[in-house]
Structure 1
């Protein structure tokens, strides 16, 4: 889908999480309407977002006036005020918005959001906390967990496989991880194939169970 065809998104709540979502959506070509009850935030981000308004979206009539039903998706980026986030998700659902993403602070909050109409619930603080914990050991350069003990990670090439093509090191068989690609300084990303030779300064992108990735990185 080209940038010109990307559909509009409503982002409600312009705290750190909400504004990051809104700015990124705009940067990749979405039309975004940012909404917050705090006038200081609306003023602060007026130059960052093309469309931004001060409004209380817990009121269904306000959402209707904003044209919420015309948006392809909505992001409810309110975490601390659980009542407000639930009321907004419910109002959006009542207006017929199907693709609702909502920020949750805990499992109970998430279950309520799902039951009131949220199609996707995210835990940004929890995910970031997990990510930082895995990166602290300095063996992993980047890390994405999928919540079921499976992850994708970026790491420095372990010494035992340096100088060998992947067909010889047999990472999947011996270490139970799959090397997806290789990044070398100054070169484009290389999609891994059996005869890909691993060099000393290579960074690898690998997938597998978290415990296996950690063991692989520690070799």
Structure 2
């Protein structure tokens, strides 16, 4: 096994921010995850059974060729050494379910799994996945918000609470946060203002807003959409 990974192997009880991660499946989702984790300095091992993908990723990240739907193969690659496992297989429902079930049987403390439909996600949760993600759905919803107004970024957390990055509407140009009183008028909160070439600053009543600035706001999704739609 790659020496870089072997040096960082940790016990199953370690689920901290630097815990080792097993990524199963090197499609678009799994490949991007594994590469990003590796760039961040995390101990990551990818498992893939497609020889073409193995060739594509060989030398770029620590990886092994194995069929993770086989529980024996998972044990042989050392899956039990990983506190976190990510199942990036989504196109094959059978493989996704088998792999997730195998990880549950191995006692993996934290399992993230990709789903391509609500039904797929429910199955993964029922068999023991701790977190289910819907990359295509989430990306589509996010882009829909971005193309509908002046938003530059959109993160919906839960229960309708959202954080957005956006260009300021014309009515705010040249005024301070206190003068515009965005919270009272529109029901959303200005977290900060980013001026071009300047560091981020948390907003106060005295923070001035100019046309080239970027606003960071939080609040109800519907209210933020209304504010972002203003000219």
Which of residues 76, 80, 89 is equivalent to 1:69? Answer: 80
Alpha-carbon distance in 1 for matches of 2:205, 2:86: 42
Alpha-carbon distance in 2 for matches of 1:72, 1:98: 5
Alpha-carbon distance in 1 for matches of 2:85, 2:150: 37
Deviation at 1:76, TM superposition (A): 0.1
Alpha-carbon distance in 2 for matches of 1:204, 1:48: 37
Q: Show the counterpart of 1:10.
A: 22
Q: Show the counterpart of 1:55.
A: 66
Q: Show the counterpart of 1:46.
A: 58
Any idea what the Cα deviations from partners look like across 1:67-125, whole Å, max 9, x if unmatched?
11110100000111111111111111111101100000111111111111111000000
| Structure 2 gaps, min length 5 | 1-7, 9-16
Any idea what the Cα deviations from partners look like across 1:137-180, whole Å, max 9, x if unmatched?
24111112235332211111112222222122221121111111
Q: Given that residues 149 and 228 in structure 2 are in contact (C-alpha distance below 8 angstroms), is that contact kept between their aligned partners in structure 1?
A: no
Which of residues 103, 107, 111 is equivalent to 2:114? Answer: 103
Alpha-carbon distance in 1 for matches of 2:212, 2:71: 56
Corresponding residue pairs, total: 215
TM-score (norm 2): 0.89
Find the residue that maps to 2:208 and give its secondary structure: coil
Q: Show the counterpart of 1:198.
A: 209
Alpha-carbon distance in 2 for matches of 1:129, 1:92: 29
Q: Show the counterpart of 1:217.
A: 228
Q: Show the counterpart of 1:23.
A: 35
Report 1:182-197 matches (<5 A).
182-197=193-208
Report which stretch shifted further, 172-181 or 74-83.
172-181
Alpha-carbon distance in 1 for matches of 2:185, 2:59: 53
Deviation at 1:62, TM superposition (A): 0.8
TM-score (norm 1): 0.93
2:170 aligned with 1:159, yes or no? yes
Q: Given that residues 149 and 229 in structure 2 are in contact (C-alpha distance below 8 angstroms), is that contact kept between their aligned partners in structure 1?
A: no
Alpha-carbon distance in 1 for matches of 2:229, 2:68: 49
Alpha-carbon distance in 2 for matches of 1:192, 1:78: 42
RMSD (Å), alpha carbons = 1.4
| Structure 1 gaps, min length 5 | none
Q: Show the counterpart of 1:168.
A: 179
Q: Given that residues 64 and 77 in structure 2 are in contact (C-alpha distance below 8 angstroms), is that contact kept between their aligned partners in structure 1?
A: no
Deviation at 1:129, TM superposition (A): 0.5
